[in-house]
A and B are shown apart, each in its own frame.
Chain A
């Protein structure tokens, strides 16, 4: 009986076997392949890559399978794998203006060079369950148009910047070290680079709620979606020995540039301000939330009153990571009986003393 309250090695082993069994489910149903997950649960794979900070569709699909579809568990698996990988260096900044665009929309202009490209989107679908999917019907053929080799698709923020109507991005310093909060502990106040890294890794639900709160008045930023674009960009890395940057391959990213509340002063003409979001794969909700929270966190830069949760850097950055959050919340399942015993003994002592005092008084 004494042993029964403690977990044995065998019990853990058996629990894990049961987990594997439940993961497989009914043996009458064919097993899901990671290729199927990679190809058919693409948005789950994208989210796991973004928050897992590792661009690898196959590993992310494997993580989704191993986690039985639990996204945070899958993100955790990918992170734990990522941490063991050596870091060779940092890439050149992504040139999203050169993106091979699959989707590009702007809410600030009706039409613009390159046009509005809807791409694959849930927007405008009626959210009616499609029972045709149950029987596995083939989708209709997609419409195509001839490629226009001369088409350019400038970034909306660059168009606005052409008139000097949006804050200028600080000039890039190629010699400056690239911050990485997986290699250095986060200190406050964090620079914007680390802040964006933290947000990119941050939990989609948490950022969505914070972004939503800024729209409801808890740190308003008057946002416009300048542009959301989805597509493939080339990753390049500067190789010291060669003296030039070499391409490493293409990755799919979603970028969101928010155009926010303008600022000016006696000496500076008014300009719109920026909020930025970027994630792996197709992750619009995440990129938009990130951009809204990024802008809200810049309150100090613009001398705005800082009162709302979304404007509080320490609060946001300390609680955005779902792997950290889930670990600490779930660790309450671990035995705490030593501490509870200490509390038990203390509460009994106080009750004894109270009773004794009462009796003495009577």
Chain B
């Protein structure tokens, strides 16, 4: 596809400059939602148009791109977006986390720690953490401006009063650099600690809602909680059935209609990497090395 009628990475250069300006502003004010003139993209709103625009704006010909959805490289939407950039930007694509320079993601942060030469681009459906407490944009923007976040804790209070826990298991709100409360996109709260003091730049793009925000490298990111009900990362009762990992986020796979199920890493690259190193989960026959690693 050399004779593409479209510009490098689809968007015209003027649009890219506009998006880059929004990104720079977002980096300068960590956690603040910068409005930007989101374009119509050839994929539907809600399917990653914000992330795609951010990726298109930062991608260079030397970049190596990885796209994941639910942690996996082979899910339909990840395949589709990867193919889009392979076609419109002709960049090298990869499924290897270590190899990638730009990683676009929906709903997960890779298990492997990211480095300072990488950028993580999140696809965001609803960027406003206060949206479901206060539907009006005019009011939520004032609340952010005045750092009026009491209502957020009222929601957490109600959770504890009713369930005994903060009942948010994904899309768990965070406070960035001691100032803005931010929506981390619907990643499981298991991933929240990875955002804190991360070596990589983290960019968030919401296409339909026309917002870009950012967490610069080495920024303090705190998950909201109470002193006596601290944030807890979710844990799994089982190791991965394929690679035996016990510290990764697992997908539950239903194996029959009699309640049979198994748990496997959601991060496919991480799982494959471990198997290549010789780790084995129970499905592939436990090996001593793997069992040690699981304990």
- Asked whether the complex places CB atoms of A and B closer than 8 A, the reply is yes
B37 touches A80 (CB 8 A): no
Residues of A within 8 A of B47 (CB): 327, 331, 334
Residues of A within 8 A of B242 (CB): 2
A324 touches B167 (CB 8 A): no
B138 touches A339 (CB 8 A): no
Q: Taking A84-B6, A328-B125, A331-B44 as contacts, is the C-beta distance between A339 and B170 under 8 angstroms?
A: yes
Smallest CB gap from B49: residue in A: A327
Q: How far is the CA of A329 from the CA of B45 in the complex (A)?
A: 9
Residues of A within 8 A of B45 (CB): 323-324, 326-328, 331
A346 touches B234 (CB 8 A): yes
Residues of A within 8 A of B35 (CB): 185, 187
Contact with A along B182-201 (1 / 0, CB 8 A): 00001111100000000000
Interface segment out of the listed A5-13, A60-68, A116-124, A216-224 = A5-13
Smallest CB gap from B254: residue in A: A5
How many CB-defined contacts (below 8 Å) exist between A and B? Answer: 144
B188 touches A5 (CB 8 A): no
Measured CB to CB, the closest approach of chain B to A285, in angstroms, equals 24
Within 8 A of B (CB), among A322-354: 323-324, 326-331, 334-339, 341-346, 349-350, 353
**B169 contacts partner chain A, Cβ-Cβ < 8 Å:** yes
Residues of B within 8 A of A331 (CB): 44-47, 125
Interface segment out of the listed B58-66, B67-75, B145-153 = B67-75
Measured CB to CB, the closest approach of chain A to B105, in angstroms, equals 11
Interface size class of chain A, counting residues whose CB lies under 8 Å from the partner chain: 35 or more
Residues of A within 8 A of B163 (CB): 350
Residues of B within 8 A of A327 (CB): 44-47, 49, 208
Q: Taking A328-B125, A341-B252 as contacts, is the C-beta distance between A188 and B138 under 8 angstroms?
A: yes
**B36 contacts partner chain A, Cβ-Cβ < 8 Å:** yes
**A136 contacts partner chain B, Cβ-Cβ < 8 Å:** no
B40 touches A80 (CB 8 A): yes
A344 touches B252 (CB 8 A): yes
Residues of A within 8 A of B170 (CB): 338-339, 342-343
Residues of B within 8 A of A350 (CB): 163-165
**B249 contacts partner chain A, Cβ-Cβ < 8 Å:** yes
Measured CB to CB, the closest approach of chain A to B180, in angstroms, equals 18
Q: Taking A6-B75, A185-B210, A330-B46 as contacts, is the C-beta distance between A345 and B236 under 8 angstroms?
A: yes
Interface segment out of the listed B76-84, B113-121, B213-221, B223-231 = B76-84
Interface size class of chain B, counting residues whose CB lies under 8 Å from the partner chain: 35 or more
Smallest CB gap from B38: residue in A: A185
Q: Taking A1-B255, A84-B6 as contacts, is the C-beta distance between A339 and B107 under 8 angstroms?
A: yes
Is the contact region of chain B dominated by helix, strand, or loop, or is it mixed?
loop
Measured CB to CB, the closest approach of chain A to B246, in angstroms, equals 15
Q: Taking A330-B44, A339-B107 as contacts, is the C-beta distance between A2 and B164 under 8 angstroms?
A: no
Residue with the greatest number of chain A CB neighbours at <10 A, chosen from B44, B49, B236? B44
Q: How far is the CA of A353 from the CA of B165 in the complex (A)?
A: 11
Contact with A along B28-41 (1 / 0, CB 8 A): 00000001111111
**B137 contacts partner chain A, Cβ-Cβ < 8 Å:** yes
Residues of A within 8 A of B108 (CB): 338
Residues of B within 8 A of A338 (CB): 70-71, 107-108, 170, 186-188, 249, 251, 266
Residues of B within 8 A of A82 (CB): 40
A339 touches B253 (CB 8 A): no
Residue with the greatest number of chain B CB neighbours at <10 A, chosen from A6, A189, A326? A6
Smallest CB gap from B47: residue in A: A331
Smallest CB gap from A330: residue in B: B44
Q: How far is the CA of A1 from the CA of B264 in the complex (A)?
A: 12
Q: How far is the CA of A189 from the CA of B35 in the complex (A)?
A: 15
Q: How far is the CA of A353 from the CA of B164 in the complex (A)?
A: 10
Residue with the greatest number of chain B CB neighbours at <10 A, chosen from A80, A82, A83, A184? A83
Residues of A within 8 A of B253 (CB): 1-2, 5
Residues of A within 8 A of B250 (CB): 341
Contact among B10, B70, B74, B76 for A337, CB-based, below 8 A: B70
Smallest CB gap from A326: residue in B: B44
Residues of B within 8 A of A358 (CB): none
Measured CB to CB, the closest approach of chain B to A26, in angstroms, equals 29
**B258 contacts partner chain A, Cβ-Cβ < 8 Å:** no
Contact among B36, B40, B71 for A185, CB-based, below 8 A: B36
Residue with the greatest number of chain B CB neighbours at <10 A, chosen from A7, A182, A338? A338
Q: How far is the CA of A350 from the CA of B77 in the complex (A)?
A: 33
Residues of B within 8 A of A2 (CB): 242, 253, 264
A12 touches B80 (CB 8 A): yes
Residues of B within 8 A of A323 (CB): 40, 44-45
A182 touches B186 (CB 8 A): no
**A314 contacts partner chain B, Cβ-Cβ < 8 Å:** yes
Contact among A183, A314, A341, A353 for B188, CB-based, below 8 A: A341
**A103 contacts partner chain B, Cβ-Cβ < 8 Å:** no
Q: Which 4 residue pairs across A and B have the least CB separation, nearest first?
A: A327-B45, A331-B46, A7-B76, A327-B44
- A residues adjacent to B (C-beta < 8 A): 1-3, 5-9, 11-12, 76, 79-80, 82-84, 86, 182-189, 314, 318, 323-324, 326-331, 334-339, 341-346, 349-350, 353
A-B contact pairs, 19 of them (CB 8 A): A5-B253, A7-B75, A7-B79, A9-B79, A80-B40, A82-B40, A83-B40, A182-B37, A327-B45, A335-B76, A336-B186, A341-B249, A341-B266, A342-B189, A342-B190, A346-B167, A346-B169, A346-B234, A350-B165
Other A-B contacts than A330-B44, A331-B46, 19 sampled, CB-CB below 8 A, are: A6-B74, A7-B76, A76-B40, A82-B40, A182-B37, A324-B45, A327-B208, A328-B45, A330-B46, A331-B44, A337-B70, A338-B186, A338-B188, A339-B188, A341-B250, A341-B266, A342-B234, A343-B169, A349-B165
